[in-house]
Chain A
Amino acid sequence: MAEFEPVTGRYCTLDIEGRRCRIYIEEAGSGVPLLCLHTAGADSRQFRHLMTDPAVIDRFRVIAFDMPFHGKSNPWAGFQDEEYRLTTGFYTAAVLAVADALELERPAVMGCSMGGRLVLHLAGSHPERFRAVIGLEAADHQQPWYDTEWLHRPDVHGGEVAAALVSGLVAPQSPDEFRWETLWAYQCSGPGVFKGDLHFYRRDSDFRDRIHMIDTTRCPVFLLTGEYDFSCTPTDTLRTAKDIPGVEAEVMEELGHFPMSENPARFRTYILPVLDKVARL
């Protein structure tokens, strides 16, 4: 008899800003709901290690979903005639729609990279909905490091170039198996999807003028950033943390931009103490 993981997946169709979206949702464990948001151009598989860690799922109901256009969540009807561009409004509505669909009561929300940017918005705009936010590789904004036009053009393979670009964001210490599993998600990404996500990340979601909205007594904020992340650098995160009274921020050694998927064993040494605090809230 094969040994099955404790992860189960379901689909539901949700109305998000007037779009009918069939969303794929995975979950494992029971306890405090912990909603996980994947990085740009990837999908919920990034959280698979967290979903099989007894130290996590014994206390948390870990939930991750694929945003439309990502993983097993198809694009909405009519996508073929549009340029995909993720906005702060749509992304926020998607997270709230999933939380409502699952009837989650004040979940904690953890997002990485673009997900990490969004959790700052959620803490600022919807503190009553979330017991805490955890931003991985999160900052109020950061400097671009390449031209996103290279991600979607006919003479460059979008998946290959996306993976080759973000490969440098993985720490050199991360095991090859998990480095390449992380990059595989980028190699699989649909045409223009990573670029469309970066519209949110680089242009639409600048949080500098909204950072004062966060009140950590209403919604605690935890920030964790890998030392090898040169996209959202430790400096970006610590600068952001300086403007959020009560925030807890830490730089993770020997980790990069994808801590939960590139080196799960190392990441858990940083995330478990944070989850201990979240469980006590």
Chain B
Amino acid sequence: MEHLADVVNGDGGLVHRGRHVDLEWLWQVDAVPYHVRIQHGLVVELVRGPVLMRSHRFAVRGPADSWERFWAPMPRPGFHDLFAMMKTGRASIDGDLQPLMANLRYFKEVLAAPRRLADGHHG
């Protein structure tokens, strides 16, 4: 998680795809919420929560086990996609979903970005 900004901001194509994204969202791993601030597709701030009364447009939540399997270099069926995990209750989304759905490829690629670290392609 700590390397999310490096991976996302170092990918010019991904940043370009998120150029219209300017918001804060929440990525929850187990009980730990991470507040992720995006400006023009760049991850400009990542704060490990909880932070009292800090708001966000939408949240993506799941247990650490789900994310670890999701980030495997070659994930197993059911752990290879956010919606696959949602269908089986291994992840969830809530809040104002419009910016997520309007930029779905961007956010799915941000969620998958840590897979590149596991893959050894970065860092």
Identify the A interface with B (CB < 8 A). Answer: 143, 145-146, 150, 155-157, 160-161, 163-165, 167-169, 171-173, 227-228, 230
Contacts and interface: CB of A to CB of B under 8 A. Distances in A.
Contacts of B81: 167-169, 230
B74 A172 contact: yes
Given A168-B81, A172-B75, A230-B77, A161 B87 contact: no
Given A146-B83, A167-B108, A168-B108, A173 B101 contact: no
6 contacts: A155-B102, A161-B101, A161-B102, A163-B105, A230-B81, A230-B84
A181 to B, nearest CB: 16
B78 A230 contact: yes
Interface string B62-80: 0000000000001101101
A163 B101 CA distance: 11
Interface residues of B, number: 19
B101 A168 contact: no
A227 B77 CA distance: 6
Contacts of A156: 98, 101-102
Contact of A167 (B78, B88, B105): B105
B8 interface: no
Nearest to B107: A164
Interface string B88-114: 100000000110011011001000000
B82 interface: yes
Given A145-B83, A227-B77, A230-B78, A160 B108 contact: no
B86 interface: yes
Given A155-B98, A157-B102, A228 B77 contact: yes
A119 B108 CA distance: 33
Contacts of A145: 83-84, 86-87
5 closest A-B pairs (Cβ-Cβ)?
Answer: A168-B81, A164-B104, A230-B84, A164-B105, A145-B87
Given A168-B80, A172-B74, A230-B81, A161 B104 contact: yes
Nearest to A187: B105
A56 to B, nearest CB: 27
Contacts of B77: 227-228, 230
A168 B98 contact: no
Contacts of A227: 77
A268 to B, nearest CB: 21
B90 to A, nearest CB: 11
Contacts of A150: 97, 101
Given A167-B108, A168-B108, A172-B74, A230 B83 contact: yes
A146 B87 CA distance: 9
B107 to A, nearest CB: 9
